[in-house]
């Protein structure tokens, strides 16, 4: 297993280096570095605090899946676990691999919850976040098309398919009784029945929690995307907030593919692909993209510090 992880990381590192070279080969890297160093310290601090707030939103959403009543202590526990997941994600091939272990610190905090229930909540939380992201992304694509922006046809097919899948999933969750179905039709299939029991977060009584988490995700999507507009302003790139909301969901979806380390290289090329044809200077686009990646890494490294914070 370790060998596979290391080999995947090596492959991603090689791809990142190749993509970074391809993105930066025609620009003055030293000039870009100088502009990086001119970013005010206060701006970096403010953005780190902003990321703390957005991570807190994710922790709140996750805790809502498991409890009807939550406290700030719960928000802290789940936000810390989410930060640890972000930190682990720097070293694993995909975010899903990090999800597989980020719930472990919660076991000692909530002994009344079973391992299977906490682990299942990670999956459902990921699905809920992805569904909100897909709905916002599909809407952004349609808006972009209506405004005359050009997207590869494959993206419309992918987002359209994911949008339909999201609607179907919501219909199944809110109108299908998993528990009854297992008792009625799967009494002899113990393994399948237990699998459905593990996913008891989807039971009828928990639908209100799921709805609240889904609505929170929808409301938070614009907040999670807005930092790119802040970076554009600090570097004078001129990218409008509307364009951020149109292109960032598309870029973020592609970046879910495990093809680079922390998105470096792939993110820069995607920014160039979508924004340079609109007339933006490649140097400014690369500054915005790379700065966003660096701050995301800094935010993830906070999770490494929280390993030593037990309370």
Phi, psi for 303 (deg, rounded to 5): -60, -35
Query: Cα-Cα-Cα-Cα dihedral of 128, 50, 239, 282, to 10°?
Result: -100
Average pLDDT over residues 23-49: 90
Phi, psi for 40 (deg, rounded to 5): -60, 140
Average predicted confidence (pLDDT) for the chain = 82
pLDDT of residue 185: 57
The ranges assigned to domains in the chain are: 2-306
Sorted by sequence, the CB contacts under 8 Å of residue 158 that are 6+ apart come out as: 253
Query: What's the rounded Cα separation, in Å, for the pair 289 and 190?
Result: 49
- Which single residue is written with the structure tokens 């905090």? 109
Residue 229 has pLDDT above 90, yes or no: yes
Residue 193 has pLDDT above 60, yes or no: no
Residue 2 has pLDDT above 50, yes or no: no
At 64-120, the pLDDT tens digits run 988 888 889 999 889 988 888 878 777 665 555 567 677 877 888 888 887 777 888
pLDDT of residue 180: 64
Average pLDDT over residues 220-230: 92
Two structure tokens written together for 107:
């076991």
Residue 257 has pLDDT above 90, yes or no: no
Highest average pLDDT, of 25-39, 224-238, 290-304, comes from 224-238
Sorted by sequence, the CB contacts under 8 Å of residue 281 that are 6+ apart come out as: 237
pLDDT of residue 203: 65
What does the radius of gyration of the chain's CA atoms come to, in whole angstroms? 21
Render 47-86 in DSSP notation, one character per residue.
HHHHHHHHHHHHHHHHHHHH-SS--HHHHHHHHHHHHHHH
């Amino acid at each position: 297993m370790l060998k596979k992880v290391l080999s995947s990381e090596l492959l991603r590192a090689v791809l990142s280096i190749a993509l970074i070279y391809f993105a930066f080969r025609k620009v003055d890297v030293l000039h870009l570095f100088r502009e990086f160093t001119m970013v005010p310290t206060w701006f970096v601090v403010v953005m780190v605090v902003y990321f703390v707030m957005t991570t807190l939103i994710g922790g709140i959403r996750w805790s809502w899946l498991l409890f009807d009543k939550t406290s700030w202590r719960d928000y802290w526990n789940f936000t810390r676990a989410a930060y640890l997941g972000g930190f682990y994600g720097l070293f694993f091939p995909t975010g899903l691999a990090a999800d597989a272990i980020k719930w472990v610190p919660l076991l000692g905090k909530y002994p009344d919850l079973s391992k299977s229930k906490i682990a299942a909540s990670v999956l459902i939380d990921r699905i809920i976040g992805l569904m909100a992201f897909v709905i916002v992304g599909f809407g952004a694509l349609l808006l972009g098309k209506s405004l005359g922006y050009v997207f590869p046809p494959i993206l419309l097919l992918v987002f359209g398919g994911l949008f339909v899948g999201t609607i179907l999933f919501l219909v199944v969750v809110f109108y299908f009784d998993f528990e009854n179905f297992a008792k009625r039709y799967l009494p002899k299939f113990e393994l399948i029945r237990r699998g459905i029991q593990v996913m008891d977060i989807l039971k009828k009584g928990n639908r209100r929690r799921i709805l609240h988490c889904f609505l929170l995700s929808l409301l938070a999507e614009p907040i999670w995307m807005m930092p790119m507009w802040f970076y554009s302003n600090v570097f004078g790139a001129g990218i409008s907030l509307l364009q951020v909301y149109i292109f960032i969901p598309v870029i973020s979806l592609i970046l879910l593919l495990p093809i680079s380390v922390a998105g470096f290289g792939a993110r820069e090329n995607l920014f160039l692909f979508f924004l340079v044809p609109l007339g933006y200077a490649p140097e400014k686009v690369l500054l915005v993209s790379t700065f966003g990646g660096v701050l995301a890494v800094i935010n993830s490294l906070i999770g490494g510090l929280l390993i030593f914070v037990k309370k």
